[in-house]
Each structure stands twice: as structure tokens, then as C-alpha cells.
Amino acid sequence: MTAFYAEFSSSDAISDGLLEEARSLIGVPLRVDQWNTEASVDNIRHYALGIGDLNPLWQDVEYARSSVHRGIVAPPTFLYSVYCGLAPGLGGLAALHQGVRWQFHDWIRLGDQLRAAAQLTDATMTVSKRGHRRIKQFGRIEYSVIQATGGQRLVAQCDQTVIRTPGPGQPDALAYEPRDEHQYTVDELSEIGRAVLSVKQRGAETRYWDDVECGDVVDQVVKGPYTRMSMVCYYAGAPGSPGYRAFDAWWRNRHLATTAPESIPNTFDPAYFAGTGVSSMGHHDAGVAHTIGMPGIYDNGNQRIGLMATPITNWMGDEGFLYEYNQESRRPVLLGDTLYIDGTVVDKSELADGDSLAFNVRGDDFGQAKLELKARNQLGDVVATGGATVLLRLKKS
């Protein structure tokens, strides 16, 4: 299987011509192929299980009905199950997630009809500390809810950065040293289990802005060890790119990529549908991962973003609202790794009376707290950093 996918991998070096190709797509509306088009009890639950988030707001119908929301709502990053990914063009170069900045305007609720629109906003050439050239593609995905009148209401926007790297043998290819899957002792696994089972959600106990202080700790969330089943569960809720199709659908997309590329989604390049699958297969096949210079089977970047949002929603409680969220990947997370994610309150401020940053959130009722987040693996390496702006209710005198 490795050989089948590897034979399609791009061997193009990073060139000024490739950068011109990338920039030619800026501002052009992209053809999006959504996975979910409506929020339901099942697809919200499937996504939550894919990031291991057991918050009852997402999964427990009776609990959610008694909450301030009066029903199930979705984890903020559930929108990745509607659509994710922006890496068009560039002939099959591997696409690796680098960073994301979300802004949310409302919760996603049961029955919401969802639409996604995407376009590239910029493309640049960068040079690493080792002199390796990379192309960065910057894009925005806008998510809207279809209203009863037929119009659309923006509920979130996602600005993301993707790094494009060349195939094996090129001077600008990635060059991580291979790393074997981490092996744990029985005691180490038991300790991970205890840490995971100790995680709690704030839930119905309101966290008031007035009680929050800079330096407050956002309780740690432990995610791991990372296994192939972890990836299977995530794809059950958010299957990733529109290239994730089986049997007849996969062959049809591959055929159309070479005969009628204008008929398939172009949020990924036609070479991806034509059979490369290189970046995606690196999530499952160590041989493919090594061909693009990764140290081994590596995680899905969007899944990691979902994992890092979990301590935020745990901390803020049912009445809090995640307004802004950003994350940057620092190192690959490999099969066998365990993530330790925690954070700190770094700032808090009042909102001006009448300010409305999000649907049904007003400045005279809410204040904002800013968080910093960090994720480390079992070796102590920082694999991702991030931050968030959370809106919290004010106490009433």
C-alpha cells in the first residue's frame, strides 16, 4: 500500500513558480464538499467522542435540556465536521497544519442547517532556520446557519495556515529523525488512566468573571496514548478532507481529477484526488510519513485543535462562551504519544456597556478573560501552544 501512494508523491522543489501558482488562487471562492450539513444528536456526539470530550452539554440530552441552553449544543470545534482544510494547488505537495485562529459568534444547536464557504487569503515563501524553503497558504472558512427566511447568519470564521513541503529527495523536504512508538510501563499507563479519570467539567456551576484572577490555573486535560483507534474515532465524527471516500467514490474522484478537475472540490489540489493521499496516509502508514520527512505516523492537526479546546470549555462552564481561540502546532504528535494540556488566565477586562461580541452576549452582562494554553507530550516537549478569549457572566448586585 505504501508503494501505491508513494508513487504519486510530488518531487517538485519549492520554486518561485509554485509560489505564483499559490498566489493565483487568492480570493477565489473554492468549491467546498461538506461532510455534515445539519447538526444532530448523533453527529455532535460522534465528533465529541472523536476528541474524547465527555462534557454532558454535547451528549446528555436530559442534562442539556435542564441547562441554560435548553438543549444539546455542539463543541465549538464541531465545525471541523462540517468542513476543514485549505490546501489547493501545488501538484500534490504535502500539506501540514501550522496554525489556526477561530472566532465564534454563536453556539451550534440541534437542527441548525450549516453552510461553509472558503477561500485563500494569502500565500508566502518562508525559509526555515536550516535554510529550507516552504510555501505557506493562508485561508479563511466561514460557517453560517441557514435561517428560516432563507438567509444565512455567520456563526464562526476560521483563519488557518498550512505549510506545503516537497516530496522525498528534495533539498527543502522535512528531515525529522524517525522516532519509534513510545512504550509505557504498566505503572505509567495506570497513572495516565488516573489523570484522565480525574478530569472534571465546571458544568452548571457558573464561573463568574468577578471571581477570576490573572494567574488562575486552567485544569489539566490528559489525552493519550495516541493510537490508531484514536484516529478511527475522530474520523467517525470528522472525516477530514473530501478525499476521504471509499471504494467507488474514491475511484470516481480519482478519475475526475484527471478528466474533469473542475467537477471536484478544489480546497485540495487535483493531484490529491488523483491518488497521492500522501499527507493523509501519513496518519496511518509510517512508510508514507517517512517519505515526507515526518518521524513516524502523526496525528491529525484539526483533532489536536479540538483536544486543546477541551480544557477551555471544561473551565468556563455551561454559561461561558468561547469567543476567540487560536492554536499553533510546534512539533509532530506521533502514535503512542500522550498529551498534557493546561493553561493560565493571563488577562481580564470589562466590556463596554452594550458591546455585543457574540449572539446574546452583551457587555453589560459579561466580561472577558484571556487564557494561554500549552500542550506537552510524555517526553516534556511542547507540541502546541494556544490562547483563548472567554466571555464570562458578571455577578449582579
Q: What is the pLDDT of residues 147-180, one digit of tens each?
A: 999 899 999 999 999 999 886 667 778 889 999 9
pLDDT given at position 165:
87
Give the CB-side neighbour count of residue 248, counting CA atoms within 13 A: 0
Residue 278 or 362, more confident = 362
Inform me whether the pLDDT recorded for 24 exceeds 50: yes
Q: How confident is the model at residue 4 (pLDDT cuts 50, 70, 90)?
A: very low
Find the CATH number of the domain harbouring 218.
3.10.129.10
pLDDT given at position 11:
45
pLDDT given at position 7:
37
What are the grid coordinates assigned to 219, written together?
Answer: 485544569
Give the C-alpha separation, 82 to 230, whole Å: 20
User: How many domains would you assign to the chain?
Assistant: 1
Average pLDDT, stretch 99-118?
Answer: 97
Render pLDDT for 109-142 as a digit per residue (tens, 0 to 9): 999 999 999 999 999 999 887 788 899 999 999 9
Does the pTM surpass 0.85? The reply is yes
C-alpha to C-alpha distances, 93 to 62, 121, 168, 241, 280, nearest whole angstrom: 47, 19, 10, 15, 12
Domain that holds residue 223: 2-393
Helix (H) or strand (E) holding 361: none
Q: Over the chain, what is the mean pLDDT?
A: 90
Q: Which of 214-223, 273-282, 331-340 has the lowest mean pLDDT?
A: 273-282
CB-based contacts of 230, cutoff 8 Å, min separation 6: 52, 299, 303
Q: How confident is the model at residue 397 (pLDDT cuts 50, 70, 90)?
A: low
Give the C-alpha separation, 77 to 87, whole Å: 19
Inform me whether the pLDDT recorded for 289 exceeds 90: no
